Structure 1
Amino acid sequence: MMARTIPFSRNPQAARARHSKTLLLPLPRAEADKLSLQVHIALDAMRRGQGNVSAAQTLCQVMIVTGLLAEVGYGCATFEQMQRAEQVLSAAFDRGRDTGTWLLDDEGFEEFATILATYDGQLRRAPLAAIANASEKLKRFRAGESFAEINRKRV
């Protein structure tokens, strides 16, 4: 005898309800771990002076998403912390562009290790809707919108 699948209603309202419930849950642990691992690899490469523009961009994106999620109550990140991290990355981008060496000094590494610890916690606790919203804001920022414009619009 073959096992029967659970019949899900094809009703659009039921589908929307399931989707809404999913958005209230955190990312599945395996997906959160996969995202986290990519970022930790980028940080390690930058610490060892073996980074590249892609690793620096990854850290930049995570810094922004971490700040956006903290802004809406998931994790703690201060404006000053984000400013210091931005300065660290700006110096890394300048050094990488000018010399071909993509790295973070010890202080820069510690700054980003703290941000990544916050990001890891956010991935495990923040609902998928909050992560998706922060990711959409990052996408719009990368497309050229200012954060002031992004925050005025609902995502």
Structure 2
Amino acid sequence: MTRTIPFARITQAAGTRRSKAMLLPMPRAEVDRVCLQVHVALDAMRRGSGNVNAAQTLCQVMILTGLLAEAGYGEATFEQMRDAESILSAAFDHGRNFHVWALDEEGFRQFAVIVATYDYQMQRAPLAIITDAGDRLERFRAGKSFDQMARRHA
């Protein structure tokens, strides 16, 4: 007599593997791929050849860096994030008005620190923490405030 395949156990084992993977940092190749995109965006903005996508990438990285630091991975101060937001806001205004997407030298230096912190976070933070920060960013982009998210998250 043929035995049926125990799909429930296979599914359970796969779920366990996924759960364990969420406790580990992202694989190095994936970290390198994600971080390379950020470094390319930062370099384009430094050289004055950025675009709206490069600026949006830096904006998302700024927010994710703050969220991951809040979760205990890396250092980011409120003042650092506030200054970075002002720099990026000016870059967006200048880009829309003059079609030149760039960061000045001081803006580049500040974002270089944020990007270095982001690199560290991507290498060290468990995938579950990164996924949660990404989910919070998506909810924020959908128009929900961080306060609403924090209350729901708690």
Instruction: State the partner residue of 1:24.
Output: 23
Structure 2, unmatched stretches of 5+, are 1-6
Counting only pairs closer than 5 Å after superposition, residues 72-83 of structure 1 correspond to structure 2 as 72-83=71-82
Which string of whole-angstrom CA distances, capped at 9 and with x for unpartnered residues, describes residues 101-131 of structure 1?
1000000000000000000000000000000
2:54 paired residue number: 55
For 1:75, the aligned partner's letter is: G
Q: How does 1:134-149 map to 2 (within 5 A)?
A: 134-149=133-148
Q: Distance in 1 between matches of 2:8 and 2:101?
A: 52
Question: Which consecutive residues of structure 1, in runs of 5 or more, have no partner in the other structure?
Answer: 1-8
Number of matched pairs: 148
Q: Does residue 122 of structure 2 align to residue 123 of structure 1?
A: yes
Deviations 1:72-118 (A, max 9, x none): 10000000000000000000000001111100000000000000000
TM-score by length of 1: 0.92
Distance (Å, rounded) in 2 between the aligned partners of 1:15 and 1:40: 34
Deviations 1:1-26 (A, max 9, x none): xxxxxxxx851432222111000000
**What is the alpha-carbon distance in structure 2 between the residues aligned to residue 69 and residue 88 of structure 1?**
21
Letter in 1 for 2:58: L
Secondary structure of the equivalent of 2:143?
coil
TM-score (norm 2): 0.92
Query: What code does the residue aligned with 2:106 have?
Result: E
Percent identical residues: 64
CA RMSD of the aligned region, Å?
1.5
